[in-house]
Amino acid sequence: MILGCHVSFGNEQLLSCCKEAISYGANTFMFYTGAPQNTIRKDININYVEEAKKLMLENNIDINNVICHAPYIVNLANKSDDEKWNFSISFIKKELERCDVLGIKYMVLHPGSAVNYTKEEGLNNIIEALNFILSDNVKCMILLETMAGKGSECGSSLEEIKYIIKNVENQDRIGVCIDTCHLNDSGVNLKEFDAYLDLFDKNIGIDNIKCVHVNDSKNDILSHKDRHANIGYGTIGFDTLNYIVKHEKLKDVPKILETPYTGENVEDKNRLYPPYKFEIEMFKNNNFNSNLFEDIKTYYK
Ligand code: FE
Ligand code: FE
Ligand code: ZN
């Protein structure tokens, strides 16, 4: 089982990520190279990269399973502001170059929101941008994330993801990241996950799935909301998520938790604690923890 979670790119960059992942008992992780909601980025310090690689080796973390996530404010689907669209393109190009320096193979990207464009135009804008982005000789692949379909989000159906993938010229550098919360919210019944995988395989090819985001959902199927819940505390439920995490056909694919921090007061950010150590344990033990929130509080207090 290749299982980890979202960690922060702290003062020691990739080394901070690595230390945090190990503290949760994870054997992989995902990070943003800065704040997810902005595009301010520091230069990569190669000393931290070397130290991180050493620490990964000692802790059985294969860097090939480590994932980067592009900030979610870049939008390749909306071309109405030329300057913004070009900025998104050049930012993603630079982010992929940073991944090469870090030795990271995959970067997850939200396809984008069409805003005032039609869905079809939005999808074509994304394809145009991707063909430009993937034309250089950088190695890092882009993984398109399956979206919940909030507002004008593109990539919330198999058809849309397929349309983008099929029209990208550089097939070697494009793949998919499926997100369980987003799939649920977009209308996929995860209780019949095998049927979804079959459909995915027929349309896009199962080998294109390079990452799975494992999240429960606060909302019902087809809600188009995108609000993540802790494992077993949402509408998807532990058994279904456990089935997906352990799925034989996805056994070599890294699974990443992006569930919310918890605490007595969700407004008080200083008193919120990461759930990952305990959620990873649930999957390791094959057992739902009905005392999750208390366990987290006791551990971090
Ligand atoms: Fe995402
Ligand atoms: Fe996600
Ligand atoms: Zn989400």
Given a contact cutoff of 8 angstroms between Cβ atoms, the answer to whether 15 and 40 are in contact is: no
Return d(Cα 174, Cα 160) in angstroms, integer.
14
Q: Which tens digit of pLDDT belongs to each residue from 215-224?
A: 999 999 999 9
Ligand 3 center–CA 231 separation, angstroms: 14
Q: Which tens digit of pLDDT belongs to each residue from 142-193?
A: 999 999 999 999 999 999 999 999 999 999 999 999 999 999 999 999 999 9
Quick one: what percent of the chain has pLDDT higher than 70?
98
Q: Which ligand has the minimum distance to the alpha carbon of residue 72? A: 1
- Residue 286 φ/ψ region, left for φ over 0, alpha for ψ in the -120 to 50 degree band, beta for the rest: left
Q: Which ligand has the minimum distance to the alpha carbon of residue 69? A: 1
Ligand 1 center–CA 215 separation, angstroms: 11
Ligand 1 center–CA 253 separation, angstroms: 16
DSSP E strand stretches across the chain = 3-6, 28-31, 67-69, 106-109, 141-145, 174-179, 209-214, 216-217, 228-229, 255-257
For the chain, the distance separating the N- and C-terminal CA atoms, rounded to the nearest angstrom, is 29
**pLDDT level of residue 230 (50, 70, 90 thresholds):** very high
**pLDDT level of residue 37 (50, 70, 90 thresholds):** confident
Ligand 3 center–CA 148 separation, angstroms: 7
Return d(Cα 188, Cα 145) in angstroms, integer.
15
Ligand 1 center–CA 185 separation, angstroms: 14
The mean pLDDT value for 86-102 works out to 97
Residue 44: count of CB within 10 angstroms of its CB: 18
Residue 1: count of CB within 10 angstroms of its CB: 12
* pLDDT value at 266 more than 70: no
Q: Which ligand has the minimum distance to the alpha carbon of residue 108? A: 1
Return d(Cα 32, Cα 99) in angstroms, integer.
11
Residue owning tokens 């990964």: 56
Return d(Cα 137, Cα 149) in angstroms, integer.
32
The mean pLDDT value for 71-86 works out to 96
